[in-house]
Amino acid sequence: METTEINDGPAANIRKSRSPDFDMTIAFVGNPSVGKSAFFSRLTGVGVVVANYPGTTVELTHGSVNVGSKKLDIVDLPGIYSLGASTEDEKVAKRYLLHEYPDVIINVVDATRLERNLFLTLQLLELNIPMVVALNQMDAAKEMGIEIDIEKLSETLGVPVVPTIATKGVGLQEAVLVSIDENLSIKDRHRVLYDNHILRAIKTLDEDFPEIGYGIKVRALERDEEFVKLSCRPHDADLLLITSKSITDDIEKAHGMSISDTIVRDLYGEAGYIVDRVTTQVEHKVTFKEKIDSVLTSEYVGITGLVAALLLTFFVVFAVGGFLEEGIVSLFETFLISPAESLLAGSNPVLRNVIIYSLLGVEAGFAIAIPYIAVFYVILSLFEDSGYLTRASFLLDNWTHKVGLHGRAIIPLVLGMGCSVPAIMSTRTLNTVREKRIASVLIALTPCSARTVIIIGLVGTFVGYWAAISIYVLELVIIFATGWVLGKGLPGERTGLIMEMAPLRKPDRRATFQKTWLRVREFMYIAFPLLVAGSALLGLVDSLGVLDVFQNAVEPITVGIFGLPAFAATALVFGILRKEMALQILAVLAGTANFALVLTPLQMYSFAVITTIYIPCVATIAILKHELGWKDTTAISLFTITLALVIGALINMIGMNL
């Protein structure tokens, strides 16, 4: 790694590491839904790398671009509204900018929501990192009758401002060329005209800490300890925080409000002042998009449309995914699994089982990743890029509050009915680790398509339609009860939800398919190996006779508490590989697919409920581990197992007494 001293950064002790493979690092920063993804996609193409920021589950996307003789490392930071610390995304963006210290920031700003976006821009200007503002969605602003004086905005902010239309590729090259200009300076940048008390406080701090930057002193007054400690030497940071605290106490007494509220008020006031200077609102006719928007966000029609959209999403993912899964499984069975079984017929039983089970794991990976994850992420990208996702979140925000979540969690929860893997992957759109944990637990309890096979194929076929429906009702009660308890009792940061209603727009096809590819590729790289390894381990355990020992050991529970035949325990274990395999193995062990001959209606009902609730499949466990870590994955698995045992025992007890 090449290390260079930063003399004009937030603090003199900050050092920056850069890979010798790159000449510059450019960070894309902006609010959610400003077109940043489309900007990044058109600029970098498909040769990008997605990685979690160290110690977090928040993703950073890196791409490389050659401009002349320079090779640029482009980093797409998560969409944020400020450099505060209310969400995981904001924490990561702040840490990256202060710790990694990129050469240039390209601040992507939505021209249709300029005042709201400038709040973050004004904070970025105080970092003293060279910056270019990409004023995006200029075509949408024109449709809305918003005219912006680009030169005046650039002059006011003290940084270059480049008008862009990311979805059409307009202005992107110019923004990058401006950002690598060696004459790009941090001098003469706009400073917020804070309250007189704050300005006097900063002047006082200037006398004691002349080498520390202006923006750091503002954050110190705001009591942002992490910002100050990342920006200064430890000794200077401690002294600055102690000194600023005594000053802020006096300011808060004088104002009757917190210092952070005062600073936020001043930032919004400054943003509004700038917008008044540089924008002109001209008369325009209400566009068709605006009429559609008013319908989509209305209380009754909007909810009806959202329900229809969610049902359509579920249907498409389930129908297309199911069709593709069936074809993929058929191909694997015909050309790989069956030939392998024949080839290994006379080989060592342990080796045979490990290989066959590993191949079954590969089959499961392809049958999940391609059909369900890819189809789902195409739809999710369309929802995101069109602006409809924020409207869906807005409409259902009050309902999801009841289970400790915000409206944006509705997409993962609904998709859990198709496949748990993409549903849990999509919890990344949630703000905090607490929300991700709650959503992941609820998704783990949601009957996915594989569980539906068991409910319909076993209970629906041999017990009755209404009995199958009752399992879904029971699951719904369990999910809401679990969500309510977790929402009330789970510790962690609780945040409000700010949703910027960006204008409806046509999604960028290139960005849609690139995001889909990145997400599918991530599953293949991360979850796939764990899925295959878990399958091989299950094959090894089976070949060594451990499953038989297990079946005999748990027979008192299987037979005595659940009222199921002893072989049902083995079928439940195989359900960990793939849920529908529990039904397949049950038929093999029972010696018939006509379960009415060997199981009572109560036993079939109990088996289906237990299978639906207990520990998720290996693929889901793998993705849970990646998103939340082993500790949370183990806790979720143990919770679902315990819950399945309790519910199964209650069903048997109630059924026996009827």
Task: Specify binding-site residues for GTP.
Answer: 30-37, 55-59, 76-79, 136-139
CA distance 182 to 191: 23
Percent helix, percent strand, percent coil in the chain, to nearest 5? 65, 10, 25
Tell me which DSSP letter residue 405 carries.
-
Residue type, 577: L
- Smallest Cα–Cα separation from 293: which of 503, 37, 14, 118? 503
The β-bridge partners of 125 are: none
Tell me which DSSP letter residue 597 carries.
G
- Residue 48's alpha-carbon distances to 42, 64, 172, 521, in angstroms, are 12, 7, 18, 11
- Tokens coding 536: 């091989």
Tell me which DSSP letter residue 46 carries.
T
Binding residues, by number, are: 30-37, 44-45, 55-59, 76-79, 136-139
- Smallest Cα–Cα separation from 135: which of 84, 97, 83, 170? 170
CB-CB contact of 449 with 318 (8 Å): yes
C-alpha 490: how far from chain center: 20
3-state class (DSSP) for residue 50: strand
Binding residues for Mg(2+), by number, are: 44-45
User: Is residue 341 within a helix (H) or strand (E), and if so which, with residue range?
Assistant: helix 338-343
Residues 6+ apart with CB under 8 A from 506: 167, 386
CA distance 65 to 636: 42
- Tokens coding 228: 């100050």
CA distance 553 to 542: 15
The β-bridge partners of 147 are: 280
Burial track 422-449 (b if 16+ CB lie within 10 A, e otherwise): bbbbbbbbbbbbbbbbbbbbbbbbbbbb
CA distance 309 to 301: 12
3-state class (DSSP) for residue 508: coil
CA distance 598 to 198: 79
